[in-house]
Amino acid sequence: MTDQLLALLAHTTAVLLDFDGPVTPLLPADRNAHLADATRAVLREAGTGLTDSVSATSDHLAVLRFAASNAPATLEAVERTAVQGEVDAARLAVPTPGAAEFLAACHQTRRPVVVVSNNSADSVEAFLQQHHLHDLVQEILGRPYGEPSLMKPHPELVRRALAILDRQPQSCVMIGDSVTDIEVSRAADVHSIGYAKTPERGTELQRAGADAVITDMTALAEAIHTSAAAD
Ligand SMILES: [Mg+2]
């Protein structure tokens, strides 16, 4: 546990929490590729020509973005397919080690948590309900339906979370595993903790400007308790 992490927790009172990664590995590579195929199939059925990068991507959210800008008539159906695939994945997903402990630690120490996810709120909700974690979060903010341009790193979700929490940005910390989580935090003046499963990702998150990088949600749960005890 680093002093830097404890200082960060001492200066913040609320959490903005990314979902896929720090809470659960919702879409491992194979499942994500499968969902990208399903969303692509909607575009193909509608006769939409795909670019090479959209044909090859294993990220269904990239397909969704493409639909929004290149085939708006298909957007609703692509979004529906994306949401269904995420909900199906959420039913199979297990918590990231330490995630439940982290949410419990925040709850016990009265540090409110708002989930800010580029996945659908339905999938976050299904996952949290299934694992009895739902009562530990104040609010779930998912991808704005049919408006993929508002996904992180767009500041919309962070702005909404700050309004719900009624906090200044500087008193909040975002926890996420993507460079975009760090970018949106910096743009919104929110502190950030990168969650990195690999050393490479840790380097990327650090380079993006994360205030701290962790590799273990259990350690973060412990740090929350330590910080509260020092108050
Ligand atoms: Mg993530």
For the chain, domains (ranges, CATH) are 3-25+95-230 (3.40.50.1000), 29-92 (no CATH)
What is the average pLDDT across 116-127?
A: 98
- What lies within 8 Å, CB to CB, of 4 at 6+ separation is 211, 212
CA–centroid distance, 47 to ligand 1, in Å, is 32
CA–centroid distance, 5 to ligand 1, in Å, is 20
What is the average pLDDT across 214-220?
A: 97
CA–centroid distance, 1 to ligand 1, in Å, is 22
Q: How far apart are CA 61 and CA 117, in angstroms?
A: 12
Annotate 149-180 with b (16+ C-beta within 10 A) or e (fewer): eebbbbbbbbebbbeebebebeebbbbbbbbb
State the DSSP H helix or E strand holding residue 126, giving kind and residue range, or none if neither.
helix 121-130
* Sheet-wide strand order for 14-17: 139-141, 113-116, 14-17, 172-176, 191-195, 212-214
pLDDT tens-place string over residues 54-83: 999 999 999 999 999 999 999 999 999 999
Half-sphere CA count of 8, side-chain side, radius 13 A: 23
pTM of the model: 0.96
CA–centroid distance, 208 to ligand 1, in Å, is 15
Two tokens, residue 69: 């800008």
CA–centroid distance, 42 to ligand 1, in Å, is 25
CA–centroid distance, 155 to ligand 1, in Å, is 15
pLDDT tens-place string over residues 30-62: 999 999 999 999 999 999 999 999 999 999 999
Residues with CB under 5 A from ligand 1 (ion): 18, 20-21, 177-178
Two tokens, residue 209: 């400007």
